[in-house]
Amino acid sequence: MPEPSSGEIGVEDARGRMLAGLTPTAETVALSGALGRTLFAPIAALRDQPPFDASAMDGYALLPGDLSRPYRVIGESAAGLPFDGRVQPDEAVRIFTGARVPDGCRVIVQERAERSGEIVTFEAHSPGSMNVRSRGGDFKAGQVLLHAGVRLDAWSLALAAATGRDMLQLAVRPRVAILSTGEEIVKAGGAATGVQIFDSNGPALQALIAGWGGIAMPLEPAKDDEATIAAAVAEVDCDLILTVGGASVGDHDLVKPAMRRLGLELKVETVRLRPGKPTWFGVLADGRRVLGLPGNPASALVCAELFLRPLLLAWQGADPTLPMETARLAAALPPVGPREHWMRARLSSEDGVLTATPFSDQDSSLIAVFAEADALLRRPAGAGKAEAGDGVDCLRLHRLARPNSHSIHR
Ligand code: AMP
Ligand code: MG
């Protein structure tokens, strides 16, 4: 099949081509397995919440009226154990938080009540609050609570569970085979000779894929050999093949030729981007997609953020837009060449002002620098010199807490 000569294209264009034709599909999943996954169908309330007028306090329920007279306590209403009778004007019901409030009643908090046997009296000037959570005050039957495309976290799971459902319609998770390539690449835990290095991209990508809702399927690293690379992925049952390394045009960059053996139709040949120019994308004859990342750790992980993340989110019907933020530059930066530049940076916040400090060494081979970054800073292609204090676009990385004192870098 002739290959379209797409040449080097911009980041937006490349992303558009990668996301074209992705169709989310649905499956039914138990609530307990839904964390981090994406809703395929909206969730509406099946009934009002709360489903009855509920007491907001511990106290006494009584009809609105004269508080200066004594009331006779005729029963009790506890959460899940309601009082079923009717309340007359001189009667009160002992009531607890979350219990159904008898028809027409308000609740006087127990701190304002004086109980003696069956008789209860109240402070004359009880404040006006009803202390009642009205039926449907949280949400109403039929109300859409969670929209399709929402990624489920603890809070949205609480909302889904509050509707009483235990099975949800979720987007099927894309299965991503990860193939690290290179004669020099050894899996961590293996024995490396003096000229070999350990695969650091594979485990990082595996974690990123899981965080973006995909199913990571790590393969054994493959040597720089066309037939070996093709054989490594030929029979893998997956939606996307993510290759690492061998993406460029050197004599040992054999991933694209290997994929051609499997009927690769190239959609993105190379991207006007730094780091990550050799990134490519295509579709195999059997419909599986292939995203080829360069091997340098910063290139691979920057491109995972810029391309793999939107790809996986779009595939699940979630919003693939990168959530860019604006920060102030901590220091001046030189003009940018013809490729847009994504720099590793550290964010700090003082008095509500977000400041980005790019690392001085942006070499794309540096793993330790990346491990210290908490944002990627975007400088547009062709931009002039930037001054300290200028606004810059940042993409926050999803980092977990690290002690500040831990810094080993520059
Ligand atoms: P390549 O993209 O194959 O030309 O590799 C570029 C650089 O990234 C080389 O120095 C490789 O050794 C390194 N590299 C390639 N794959 C990986 C990987 N999976 N983990 C860490 N470094 C890698
Ligand atoms: Mg290589």
Q: Closest ligand 1 atom, CA of 246?
A: 3
What is residue 1's predicted lDDT score, i.e. its pLDDT?
Answer: 35
Q: Is 246 in the pocket of ligand 1 (CB under 6 A)?
A: yes
Token representation of residue 248:
């460029």
Across-strand partners of 160?
A: none
| pLDDT 10s digits, 199-210 | 999 999 999 999
User: Is the pLDDT confidence value at 406 over 70?
Assistant: no
Q: Is residue 408 part of a domain?
A: no
User: Is the pLDDT confidence value at 76 over 90?
Assistant: yes
Both 293 and 195 in a single domain?
A: yes
Residue where one domain finishes, among candidates 274, 298, 315: 315
> How many domains does the chain fold into?
4
User: Is the pLDDT confidence value at 89 over 80?
Assistant: yes
Q: Is residue 222 part of a domain?
A: yes
Strands in 215-218's sheet, in edge-to-edge order, are 215-218, 175-180, 240-244, 289-293, 280-283, 265-268
| pLDDT 10s digits, 287-309 | 999 999 999 999 999 999 999 99
Both 269 and 392 in a single domain?
A: no
User: How many whole angstroms separate alpha carbon 356 and alpha carbon 391?
Assistant: 9
Q: Is 294 in the pocket of ligand 1 (CB under 6 A)?
A: yes
What is residue 99's predicted lDDT score, i.e. its pLDDT?
Answer: 98
Q: Is 358 in the pocket of ligand 1 (CB under 6 A)?
A: no
Q: Closest ligand 1 atom, CA of 294?
A: 2
User: Is the pLDDT confidence value at 2 over 50?
Assistant: no
Q: Closest ligand 1 atom, CA of 221?
A: 19
Q: Is 276 in the pocket of ligand 1 (CB under 6 A)?
A: no
Give the residue carrying structure tokens 């003009």. Answer: 335
User: Is the pLDDT confidence value at 233 over 80?
Assistant: yes
Both 129 and 144 in a single domain?
A: no
Token representation of residue 199:
């695969």
| pLDDT 10s digits, 144-195 | 999 999 999 999 999 999 999 999 999 999 999 999 999 999 999 999 999 9
Which amino acid, 352? G
Which amino acid, 308? L
Both 163 and 206 in a single domain?
A: no
Q: Is 275 in the pocket of ligand 1 (CB under 6 A)?
A: no
Both 16 and 99 in a single domain?
A: no
Ligand 1 midpoint to CA 182 (Å): 7
Q: For residue 85, what are the contacts with CB-CB under 8 A and spacing of at least 6?
A: 74, 75, 102
User: Is the pLDDT confidence value at 353 over 90?
Assistant: yes
Both 201 and 301 in a single domain?
A: yes
Both 212 and 308 in a single domain?
A: yes
User: How many whole angstroms separate alpha carbon 278 and alpha carbon 249?
Assistant: 8
Q: What is the mean pLDDT of residues 261-280?
A: 98
SS3 349: strand
Q: Is residue 401 part of a domain?
A: no
Q: Is residue 392 part of a domain?
A: yes
Ligand 1 midpoint to CA 378 (Å): 23
Ligand nearest to the CA of 221: 1
Q: Describe the chain by its helix, strand, coil percentages, rounded to 5.
A: 20, 30, 50
Token representation of residue 311:
């790809």
Token representation of residue 20:
């074209």
Q: Is residue 409 part of a domain?
A: no
Both 279 and 195 in a single domain?
A: yes
pTM for this model (two decimals):
0.94
Q: Could you list the residue range(s) of the whole structural domain that residue 44 is in?
A: 30-48+138-171
Task: Indicate which residue's Cα is closest to atom 23 of ligand 1.
Answer: 295
SS3 162: helix
- CATH number for the domain spanning 345: value is 2.40.340.10
Q: 98: how many CB neighbours lie within 10 A of its CB?
A: 16
Kindly indicate the confidence band of residue 410, based on its pLDDT and cuts at 50, 70 and 90.
low
Average pLDDT, the chain: 95
Both 103 and 151 in a single domain?
A: no
Cα of 5 vs its chain's centroid, Å: 35
- CATH number for the domain spanning 41: value is 3.90.105.10
Q: Closest ligand 1 atom, CA of 200?
A: 20
- CATH number for the domain spanning 88: value is 2.170.190.11
- CATH number for the domain spanning 17: value is 3.40.980.10
Q: Is residue 1 part of a domain?
A: no
Q: What is the mean pLDDT of residues 332-340?
A: 97
Residue where one domain finishes, among candidates 279, 298, 315: 315
Q: Is 320 in the pocket of ligand 1 (CB under 6 A)?
A: no
Ligand nearest to the CA of 185: 1
Both 39 and 59 in a single domain?
A: no
- Which pairs count as long-range contacts for 134-139, CB under 8 Å and 24+ apart, including other chains? 134/53, 135/48, 135/50, 135/51, 135/52, 135/53, 135/54, 136/48, 136/49, 136/50, 137/49, 137/50, 138/49, 138/50, 138/162, 139/45, 139/48, 139/49
Task: Indicate which residue's Cα is closest to atom 14 of ligand 1.
Answer: 295
Both 268 and 205 in a single domain?
A: yes
What is residue 5's predicted lDDT score, i.e. its pLDDT?
Answer: 41
Q: Is 292 in the pocket of ligand 1 (CB under 6 A)?
A: no
Q: Closest ligand 1 atom, CA of 184?
A: 12
